[in-house]
Structure 1
Amino acid sequence: MKLKALLVDDEYPILNNLSKVLKWEELGVEVAGMARNGAEALKFAEEQQIDIILSDIRMPVMDGLSLAKEIRERGMRTEILLLTGYQEFEYARTAIRYGVKDYISKPIHYEMLEQTVDKIARQIRTERGASRRGSQLNSVVNWASEHFITQILSGRGQFLADEDGEEEFLSHPRYSVMLADLEGYAKSSTFWTREERRRFNCRMKKLLKERLPFGDGQTVLQLREGEWFIFYDADSIIQKTREVLYPVYSELQRLARTAGDMEVRILAEKGPFSLNELSGVYHRIQRSLLLTPSEEWLLNGEELKPGLFEAPEETPESQWRWLEQIGSALRGEDENGVRKVIDELRTYLALLDEHAALRAEKMLHYMLIHLLREMRELQLLKDHEEEAVWEELQQPLGLKDLMHLLSELAIRPKGPASSRKPAEQLMMVAGDYIARHLGGDFGIEEVADHLGISCSYFCLLFKNHYGETFVEYVTRQRMEAAKKQLATSEASITQIGQGLGYQERRYFTKVFQKYTGVTPSDYRASVHGVQGSVMKE
């Protein structure tokens, strides 16, 4: 891990010596920049991630102590090494209160300085390395938000690395996965109210979070009702998985049986997988669990036969892609897309021999159940309509009957989604809610609950109405508000950021610069001219 250093001194010869005399390459440190005073250094540190600052104390505009104070008040994780004359020793001692790592007396002994920098660099790597796996996974919700990761797994977004080190974090295989599913949930919950379904799913998720044995390095996500996807640090992999998970399974099963005729099934796969792979892994193990006989409550993904979910093209199992395409078309309100898939499926089934047709009946049965759950999540079925489908499925249906039922279900009028006026009204209320809460900590779940609809249905309506994702829309609203405040108010940049929901100035600066191409300081200066640069920072 290569670290970045910033050199700060008002004497150019000293800056020049610091940049050339020390063996930075051998230390694994890159000199990212040089500044002539604390103000220049602070601006540089706000715009780039700096690991080590080497700074003189006495400088014009802003001295080294003030720089250290500002660095700490902004919450920057930067180690500071002060360069000080003998007479300034007391100042150096005072600087310890600001988290200064060490100090070197002038005239500079460069060999001692190099040893000190090496020690600090090693400490940084040790501290970050020790906590990296657990803390990165534990804080992944803070880094990207649980809702965003859910969007990624459902195929409506992607991870993007925009800082040094993030690409390695995204692509390094370090996570094991698990999928917990309730067989029979769709039918059992048909006549539950929305609030009853929400409470039941929350109880199951809470139980998983509290009882799974993977510690802080686990994340439990729910992409649809009756199903939970768990990923956790592969280093926490446990021996005797069945024995350790059985108490968790028993509690889940007890809760499920109390609520209805449901069976808990779990599929675990140790991997390891990277964050970038999780979306594909989720859909693969979801398909595996659906197509596997239900005699066992726990399945090992590595032991499943490849043919179970990677069947040759001519088998019904390989046509899983049709179900995924129907789901995608339903979410996008693409009726032509749904009809196209149905027509392809009819053509395929018409060419099957008797033996293959028997297997296709099982697949169509699974497809109908899966489609019911998808339409339930999107609120595209009324309770009595869903019950009618379940009653049909209880009958001995042949291939033709199953195909007719699937076609009728997928192409029928889609309830709430077919009425544009209610959808537009919902989105007007959503827009008003967002405008009134720009400075708060809220996400998709809070807005969807406010509207009384599911998160999936909210995302569908929002993207169709506004032409952008929820995160993109909220970010744009916040950035436009920030531009207006920077141009018209004398509030500090930190205050403006906090007022718009960004508690850390650095993160606010990063988002603003990505949106406008300039930092908040430069934007304010450009609006007010040179004189504006004296306004509050």
Structure 2
Amino acid sequence: MGGRQEQYKVLLVDDEPIILRSLKVAIPWEELGLSIAGEARNGEAALRLIEETSPQIVISDIRMPVIDGIALMKELLPRNPKLLFIFISGYGEFEYARDALRLGAFDYLLKPIDHDELTEMLTRARAKLDRQKENEQLMHSVQMLSMLARERMFSEFTLGNPRPLQHLKWLENSELEREYFMAVVRLDDYASLTAKWSSEEKHLWLFAIRNILEEWSLENGALSIFPFYNGEWVLLFPGSLGTVRKELGERLVADIKRYSKLHCSVGISRTTQGIDQLSTVYPLAAKALYRRFYSGEAGVFIEEETPDTGERDIQYPKELELSLIESIRTLNLERMLLLFDEMSCFIEAQALPKELAQRVIIELVVVLYRQFEQLSLHAELSLEGLLGKLQGQGTLSAVINVLKQDFRDWMQEGSRQAARDDGRSVVDKAKRYIEDNYHKDLSIEEVAEVADLSISHFCTLFKQVSGYTFLEFVTHCRMEKAKYILQNSSVKVYQVAPLVGYQDPKYFTQVFKKATGKTPTEYREEVMRVAGEG
């Protein structure tokens, strides 16, 4: 191996010291260009170490107390999608290992560990990391656009500002100075999907689709990919692929269906040139995609490069859109209904033909629907269902009435949901569950599910409201119960451990001493002595 190659860091996670020792000595780490950044005995410690050491590869036992391997991966991958997980599993955990692969693990191997197999796996992992690095260097300028300026760029060009990135002069000579075109990818029936998914499942599915799109982009010559709204991604392609736009779109739809079993539609823009044209081609690709809602069929929709039909002169109600977004964001139902009346007046004043009026309304509805999505107020709403209803209306007033009714229902449901999601009541519910189940092998994932929150949201909210981390509170409950048992019974110390959730009495003694400053035996003796003196 070349001396100039980058050395990647590996974290080892296993609660069996013998496995950690054997991994350290049996794998030719240096020869592979890898170094061991640290080792952890459980998922909680691994979280802290990963924060401190930023490894590129994690080799972890799949089964661990409190935070198991899969929960650890679910917590970390959304924040660090390039992290590669290799899981070690027992023969009885084969289905569990397959779940890990489905959720984004790089690979897994069965116990007893075949060190040659692991070495080969690490060689492949290293090759993948090298490819990622090379790709990052090749597409540096567009990647930087994606990371540093995406939010600013999209918000600016959605507002229609002509040069959203003029302060980033260094991008002028990027790949976008050559001809390119844009594809907007949108999951079909997104509302019905998110109604079925938990918040954690939604996060994982969107992450999985993004992974598929990133791999697909590399293999099919795309310049870059940006997630836009939830359930929607933007891809940029070099103009040289313009003659095969339809085939590209069809391949993309087919591959997403093949790898994720989900259906999507794609809207593709004309070919353009220059970064300042992003603001022009996004609406074109998005409008092509809106034909999905006119046609009622999924598929690939290409913006026709026909002479201007005068649509450019139609004034889009941008101020009205922003006011409606604000009314949804603040759950101001009265204001929202008044603004829909204003929208009706606007369309009448423009004297728009029915087809053009319908296009303006659909654009506005899609934007407002996404606002509900971003606020997670969309459990029962369906964009496809609403657009279908709108198409069936014969008059503008009927269309506005349907809009008012559906958006009113969605907002009222959102208000009820917001009340249900009051932070303190959610945390109280979680604490009660922990207090009732502290003696079991309790995982953070299980309690987050009870609270109906993602793991990361649950961790943040639990700490804010209770002052404890999840593990601190579980440990607190267990220690209080252990003290009660030691004070009020003659149960032997090694028998106390499983009663309060610890299968290993030695580990229980360590935790107890850390919490109280005394071993369980010393604590009991002191309690007896004080009682005798009393």
TM-score, normalized by length of structure 2?
A: 0.42
TM-score, with length taken from structure 1: 0.42
